[in-house]
Structure 1
Amino acid sequence: MRTSAAPTPVRAREQADELESRPSSLQPVLLLGLLLPAAAAMCYPFRHRIYTAAAGLAPAPAPAPNAQAPQPARFTYRPVLDPFVTHAAGLKGPGAMSTARVLALTALDVHGDDSLVVVPRPDAITLFGLAEDELLDDAPAGLFIPGNLDAALAYLETELSIREKEGTTHGRRLLLVADCAQEAKRITALLARHPGAVFAVLLGQWTGDQATIDDEGRVEAPPAVASNFPSHLPAMSRTEARDRLLKVLARHKDTQKPPPRRRSTPRRS
């Protein structure tokens, strides 16, 4: 009987080397399989941030053809001004007239219930464009328009003198808005005698401290005066001031209580 020859030593050695090499070739594959999940878990936050940023930068969808474009919001800036914060506010410069309009309208609109604004007729024409005979018959509450500055000062002096004699301490605050003309000394004496009861917004050659307002609304003033104004004021034309004045007066007229009527008594025969 013929028997097969035993494998040669060379063939046996090659098979042994092949068997030894197989486990070593699987090691990188196993190691890579362990590292991939860890790497994916570590990269998820970064990938999430990238996706989020990409979504934020995505262009907004185009509006529908028939959709109406949104109208831009319109804001009208009005600074908070208090015409009664100082006894005398002297104004000069290209923007002085505009600031006087704002102060007078603020007194009427915000403080109309407990104050009276006195504007001589020539100043009412210059500031608000009123006609010579406008607002004569229907005198609005909160506003008094005498014929000239002398008449305005005479009214203020008489009113304050009556209050002083009667001991009235809670009367309506009085605000004079006018060009001081040649009456600076008279106005100064009136303000000094009745502190807290009468105030003034003065244009022209005022002898006290003045705020200078340029044509763009920038304010320059001494420290004692500058604290009463913002650093910038908006312009207000005479046309706009007239419209606002008439609206304020109409609103005050609608909210006023009608004057009490006298009871009629039967005549005696």
Structure 2
Amino acid sequence: MHVWDPTHYLSYADERTRPFVELLARVPDPTGRPVASVVDLGCGPGHLTALLARRWPEARLHGVDASAEMIAAARDRVGEPGEGATYEVADLRDWLAAPPAGEEADVLVSNATLQWLPDPLSLLPRMVARVAPGGTLAIGVPANFDEPSHVLRRELAAEEPFAAHTREVASPWSPGAADYLEALTGLGCEVDAWETTYLHVLEGPDAVFEWISGTGARPTLQALPAGLREEFADELRRRLRAAYPPRGGRVVLPFRRAFVVARVPA
């Protein structure tokens, strides 16, 4: 099991936050009642849960994440909106499979999380079941897995001597927005789905490597023993520099993301 680093993850906090803000802007309030309960599945270090608290300051907020390190960081956020949120360490699949501990959520959010699960579409019926009638399920996931930042990592990890250590390592992947649209429409939801490609302008040496080493490449790097890990990182940096040549000390990282906002039938 890889260990997440909240500080490294937040190195590009502005770029990682913008898609969530745009997803949240499309989430409607339930008709005829206030939002009482909001659940953040895959809440990470809690910086986005704070945005949920700003949107619905009177709601009960609950964050779930499989990483104890991320949950510890979320609980340490003091003096910010959402300070009163509750958090738990749990695999999203286990949380969905367990009997509900309380009322259904008026808003259930999952951002940049489902790509780590092998069959995210199979979870949608249980996610919809956890949303109150007339409430909303909001999902945002990366959809850039054919970009060099992912392809080069996968190709290098499949080469020896690295492959012996990385064969069983988690590798992110997700269906596109159209797949989520079809699945959630089939569950009776009113669905708004779209995709956006962001052009992130990153500064600093090996900026793309720094970006992916805090997210998609982290499990691969952690699976390698000392020595081999540094060899892998050096070679991946070299390949990424060729794929994303710097211009004036900056590189442009295209990043496509898929979004879906599903209104559950009242």
Q: Same fold (TM over 0.5)?
A: no
Identify the structure with the greater helix proportion.
1
Normalised TM-score (structure 1):
0.31
Identify the structure with the greater strand proportion.
2
Normalised TM-score (structure 2):
0.32
